[in-house]
Amino acid sequence: MVNKIKKENNSLELLTYCGLYCGACPSYHRETCLGCRSDDHNQKRTSKWGCKIRDCCIDIKEVLYCGQCSDFPCKIISKKLIDSHPNDQRFYYRHKIPKNMKEISNLGVSQWVLKQRNKWECKTCGEGVVSFYNYECSSCGKEYNSDNKTEVN
């Protein structure tokens, strides 16, 4: 089922370079994107190939994610994500990146991904995934608050 988080995926595959959870991305649900770490050029979502954050992690800093970099948070990630769209609730998840990095550091990638998988799974039907931007279940349509405090823990 496209709407369910792919449980067989390796933990690192579900962690973006910038510290987000691929499993809550609508493009990942629709399978138009195979995740930031995929090198498969046979996918509809191609913006990752020009992503400065991805390029920096892979080619310049040689880290698995920005939180491993001594310059975090740098100007690139702050401008593109952390400080972007400050009053738009659809992008609330971006403002959580510094918190995500601390949690990843404390829990480790595998445990953080498990926590995120549970966080973004619909608590109403247990079948769908609550995604970024629209904050509603991909299966039953249940709406959640973007602050992730009301329904998504």
Q: How many CA atoms, within 13 angstroms, populate the side-chain half-sphere of residue 107?
A: 15
- 144 belongs to a structural domain: no
| 18 CB burial (10 A radius; 0-12, 13-18, 19+) | buried
pLDDT tens-digit readout, 92-132? 889 999 999 999 999 999 999 999 999 999 999 988 899 88
> How many domains does the chain fold into?
1
Residue with tokens 């970099």: 69
Say what the pTM is.
0.84
Residue ranges making up the domain that contains 94: 11-120
State how far the Cα of 21 lies from the Cα of 16, in Å rounded to an integer: 6
pLDDT tens-digit readout, 21-45? 999 998 888 889 888 898 888 888 8
Task: Report DSSP letters for 50-87, one per residue.
Answer: G-HHHHIIIIIS--SSGGGSTT-S-HHHIIIIITSSTT
- 140 belongs to a structural domain: no
- 87 belongs to a structural domain: yes
- 133 belongs to a structural domain: no
- 3 belongs to a structural domain: no
**Which tokens is 55 given?**
């390029």
State how far the Cα of 38 lies from the Cα of 32, in Å rounded to an integer: 12
- 143 belongs to a structural domain: no
- 45 belongs to a structural domain: yes
- 78 belongs to a structural domain: yes
Q: What is the DSSP letter of 125?
A: T
